[in-house]
Amino acid sequence: MAKKTKTKKPSELFRYHEKPERIGAINPVEGITIGEAALVLLNCVYRDDNHGVFLYQGDCLEVLDAIAAKYPDGCFDMIFADPPYFLSNGGITCHAGKMVSVHKGDWDKSQGAEENHNFNRAWLERCRRVLKPNGTIWVTGTLHVIFSVGYAMQQLGYRILNDIAWEKPNPPPNLGCRCFTHSTETVLWAAKSEKSRHVFNYDDMRAVTGKQMKTVWTMSAPGSDEKKFGKHPTQKPVALVERCLLASTNKGDLVLDPFVGGGDNLRRLRETGTTICWD
Ligand SMILES: C[S@@+](CC[C@H](N)C(=O)[O-])C[C@H]1O[C@@H](n2cnc3c(N)ncnc32)[C@H](O)[C@@H]1O
DSSP per-residue letters across 17-55: -S-GGGG----TTTT-EE-SSS-EE-EEEEEETTTTEEE
Residue nearest atom 3 in ligand 1 by C-alpha distance = 261
Rounded to an integer, what distance in angstroms lies between the CA atom of residue 32 and that of residue 262?
A: 25
Nearest to 153 by CA among 125, 178, 131, 176: 125
Ligand 1 within 6 A of 107 CB? yes
Neighbours of 259 (CB within 10 A): 18
Ligand 1 within 6 A of 61 CB? yes
Residue nearest atom 4 in ligand 1 by C-alpha distance = 261
Rounded to an integer, what distance in angstroms lies between the CA atom of residue 156 and that of residue 3?
A: 37
Alpha-carbon separation of residue 177 from 148, 182, 184, 185, 213 (angstroms)? 27, 11, 17, 20, 33
Ligand 1 within 6 A of 84 CB? yes
Nearest to 139 by CA among 34, 152, 130, 129: 152
pTM recorded for the entire structure = 0.87
Query: pLDDT (tens digit, 9 = 90+) per residue, 253-263?
Result: 889 999 987 76
Ligand 1 within 6 A of 265 CB? yes
Q: Which of 64, 124, 279 to mutate to test the pocket of ligand 1 (most atoms within 8 A of CB)?
A: 279
Rounded to an integer, what distance in angstroms lies between the CA atom of residue 202 and that of residue 122?
A: 32
Query: Residue range 178-199: average pLDDT?
Result: 97
pLDDT-derived band at 278, boundaries 50, 70, 90? very low
Percent of the chain surpassing pLDDT 70: 81
- The gap from C-alpha 4 to its chain's centroid, in whole angstroms, comes to 31
Say what the pLDDT of residue 201 is: 95
Say what the pLDDT of residue 26 is: 66
Rounded to an integer, what distance in angstroms lies between the CA atom of residue 44 and that of residue 54?
A: 7
Domain 10-271 has what CATH class? alpha beta
pLDDT-derived band at 15, boundaries 50, 70, 90? very low
The tally of CA atoms less than 13 A away on the side-chain side of residue 186 is 18
Of 125-134, 189-198, 204-213, the least confident: 204-213
pLDDT-derived band at 275, boundaries 50, 70, 90? very low
Query: pLDDT (tens digit, 9 = 90+) per residue, 110-165?
Result: 999 999 999 999 999 999 999 999 999 999 999 999 999 999 999 999 999 999 99
pLDDT-derived band at 101, boundaries 50, 70, 90? confident
How far apart are the CA of 141 and the centre of ligand 1, in A?
12
pLDDT-derived band at 90, boundaries 50, 70, 90? confident
Ligand 1 within 6 A of 120 CB? no
